[in-house]
Amino acid sequence: MPESPIECFVCETPDARLPLTGNLDRMNHSPLPCRPKSSVPDSAPDHAIELRSRCRGVVPLDAIWSPWMMQLAAEADQVKQLIEFHGSPVNVLSTDPMRSNINDLQKVAERANVPLQIHFARKANKCAEFVRTGLLESIGFDVASESELEETLDELHGSPQHPSKDPILCTAAVKPASLIRSCVLNDVVLVIDNKDELATLRETLAGLGPTEPKARIAFRLQHCPTKFPGLPSRFGMPADELTLLAKSLCDESRIQVVGIHFHVHRSHEQFAPSFTKALIEEALHVVDRVRGLGHTVAWLDIGGGFPVNYLRDQMQWQRFLTKALASVETNGRFASDRKLTWNQRPLADIDPAWQPLSAANWIREVLTPSLANEINRRELILKCEPGRALLDCCGLTIAEVLFVKRDQNRNHLIGLMMNSSQCRTTRDDFLVDPIVISASKASAEQTKKTDHAEMEGYFVGGYCTESEYLMQRKFRFPNGISRGDFVLIPNTAAYQMHFAESRAHQMLLAENVFI
Ligand SMILES: *Cc1c(COP(=O)(O)O)cnc(C)c1O
């Protein structure tokens, strides 16, 4: 295997790109949009049936595969070359879907007659390519660390594109003085989470000189727990506390309050558009209160957390949920027989992988005419910070099968050249079925002919722990699976490929290849 750099940005250096022409170039121009626009994608013809046939969850969760990903999956030789050249696993990425995801949201806002400024939440993927794509589309960015800020500023300064007004917001969960200082010096709006952060900002300003520079800030709102039970958050401040803090700034000419911000983590039922509409309505009242103090609040930022649908079939999702979730009636025990996960592992903290609405259709339902009217009569700009929704369909992760063996319970263990940090977030599992392909067409034919016996088992990875299972769910392989096969995991660009990656065991990080 050729030596690959430790840093991720293989994607940045043209000479490190995969030395392939033809098909990969074609893929770059794959037809967009990349997935069904309808709110219920179940009815779309399933072009991936053949590809899916070699691997399914014991309780299946058929993933949506966008055309460019299916094209790659159909070209075993290209997958093989990618892995031979870059090692296993490889994150394969495309920026085209991001552009259409951005355009879809912008179109909805235009139709709803609401001035919308999109900021891409950078933490969802570390590749600077997505910043460049965002710049081409004139959107802004949301940064959550000093490195994200510095890198985004560099891209901004090096770009021929004229950036949008206020291109960067900083919502970092913890903000050291150095980050605050850098935001002030670069006129980046700081989203202030608490009183202590404001104190650090005041000190930082004092340290920078008696009158200049100025700082622009927004306050992060924590919604009222009585009105919104079931939305506990460590972030932001309740409206009263926020208003008091804003009041303390009335005589401080060096700190300008320009926005109100919120970002919430939605549980399954909180994805209902009416819920977000209510969150926005409460925030509009806070805008009024802060404006009432004399601050010129220009915008309301509704954060990210827009829905993304990973799955084809609502029925499969519902069946999975009834099997996977512990039920209250059975006192927390699992509702039914669970051949579902390794070691009966509970899947308690999961993202709703199936969603009835795409992000664009969802925001369309949030922005009702009456809400649009409430925003417009205040002459407010609406900002949002989706990460996941902008990266929908932008990447997949491919890995090589190094071994297949049996465990003591006669399950098969499929050892991948990959570790569990390479497709993981803080959730308990990534709820999509991967695709398995053979290394070449010849061996694929052979797989069909010899008709290997059906197998069931789990994907295991490179960390030397007993719990190193790459996915918690059990999978079925109707024609078997063997050494040298490839496993393709769909739609990993948002969080899945980068959020938890680690160099434990001094293993190299996966390379990121844009095609
Ligand atoms: C993570 C985060 C986002 C992006 O969330 P998505 O679910 O990826 O859309 C936006 N804003 C803030 C403050 C965040 O922490």
**Is 384 one of the annotated active-site residues of the chain?**
no
Confidence of residue 451 (pLDDT cuts 50, 70, 90): low
Residue 106 Cα to ligand 1 midpoint, Å, equals: 18
> Domain for residue 30, yes or no?
no
Q: Using one digit for the tens of pLDDT, what is the confidence trace for 361-406? A: 999 999 999 999 999 999 999 999 999 999 999 999 999 999 999 9
Same-domain check for residues 226 and 268:
yes
Token readout for 509 is 């990080």
Name, in order, each residue with C-beta under 8 angstroms of 385's C-beta and a sequence gap of 6 or more: 118, 119, 120, 121, 142, 169, 171, 263, 301, 303, 304
Q: Are residues 193 and 253 in the same domain?
A: yes
Domain boundary (388, 405, 430) is at: 388
147-151, 329-333, 445-449: which has the minimum mean pLDDT?
329-333
Terminal Cα distance for the chain, rounded: 21
The verdict on 370 and 413 lying in the same domain is no
Average pLDDT, the chain: 90
Q: Quick one: tokens of 338? A: 């669970």
Check if 383 has its Cβ closer than 6 Å to any atom of ligand 1.
no
Catalytic one of 11, 224, 393, 464: 464
Q: Which two tokens stand for residue 467?
A: 């719990």
Which one of 373, 388, 403 terminates a domain? 388
206 pLDDT tier (thresholds 50, 70, 90): very high
Residue 355 domain-assigned? no
Assigned domain for 201 exists? yes
Same domain, 295 and 444: no
Q: What confidence score (pLDDT) does residue 29 get?
A: 35
State mean pLDDT over 133-158. Answer: 97
pLDDT on residue 397: 98
Same domain, 64 and 134: no
Q: Is the pLDDT of residue 291 over 80?
A: yes
**Residue 232: Cβ within 10 Å count:** 9
| Residue 177 within a domain | yes
* Model pTM score: 0.90
When pLDDT is cut at 50, 70 and 90, the band that residue 449 belongs to is low
- Domain CATH code at residue 457: 2.40.37.10
Does 364 share its domain with 477?
no
At residue 46, the pLDDT reads: 73
User: Looking at residue 164, what is its pLDDT?
Assistant: 83
**How far is it, in rounded angstroms, from Cα 46 to Cα 373?**
41
Residue 315 covered by a domain: no
Query: How would DSSP label each residue in 230-298?
Result: T---SSSB-HHHHHHHHHTTTT-TTEEEEEEE------GGGGSHHHHHHHHHHHHHHHHHHHHTT----
Pick the atom of ligand 1 nearest to 389's CA: 9
The CATH number covering residue 163 comes to 3.20.20.10
pLDDT band at 447 (very low <50, low <70, confident <90, very high): low
Hey, whose CA ends up nearest to atom 8 of ligand 1? 387
Domain of residue 76, residue span: 9-16+48-94+394-514
303 lines ligand 1 (CB under 6 A): yes
**Ligand 1 neighbour 387 (Cβ under 6 A):** yes
| 156 and 290, same domain (yes or no) | yes
